[in-house]
Amino acid sequence: AQSVAQPEDQVNVAEGNPLTVKCTYSVSGNPYLFWYVQYPNRGLQFLLKYITGDNLVKGSYGFEAEFNKSQTSFHLKKPSALVSDSALYFCAVRGDNAGNMLTFGGGTRLMVKP
């Protein structure tokens, strides 16, 4: 079975400060990892993915994530947060032998204050 843990229900940062949203995972086989963002009453928007290659992945809106195989983590980061980054963030994983099944974490609400 595969699983994703987002240990923080909410992350608060001041505008202009760096932000990190944590994600750890468990899969059999190699992981395909994704980050999505959800704004109120909207679906999920794709931010970035890790499939293979460089451990540091750059995505939309200045976000990046670092794949750490030994720690089974895929934390989302941004050097300088914007108020408009405030939203709900989901980490997701699919094992390369898991068919179509994409498993989501519980979500982390990011609050960026001016």
Partner 1 sequence: GAVVSQHPSWVICKSGTSVKIECRSLDFQATTMFWYRQFPKQSLMLMATSNEGSKATYEQGVEKDKFLINHASLTLSTLTVTSAHPEDSSFYICSARDGHGGRNQPQHFGDGTRLSIL
**Tokens matching residue 70:** 């030994």
Q: Based on the shown chain and the rule CB under 8 A, indicate whether residue 100 belongs to the binding site for partner 1.
A: yes
**Tokens matching residue 54:** 């460089």
Whether the Cβ atoms of residue 75 and residue 19 lie closer than 8 Å to each other: no
Query: Which one of 25, 74, 89, 90 is in contact with partner 1 (CB under 8 A)?
Result: 90
- The nearer residue to partner 1, 19 or 57, going by C-beta atoms, is 57
Q: Based on the shown chain and the rule CB under 8 A, indicate whether residue 32 belongs to the binding site for partner 1.
A: yes
Q: Based on the shown chain and the rule CB under 8 A, indicate whether residue 51 belongs to the binding site for partner 1.
A: yes
Minimum separation from the CB atom of position 43 to partner 1 (A): 4
Site size with partner 1, rule: CB under 8 A? 21
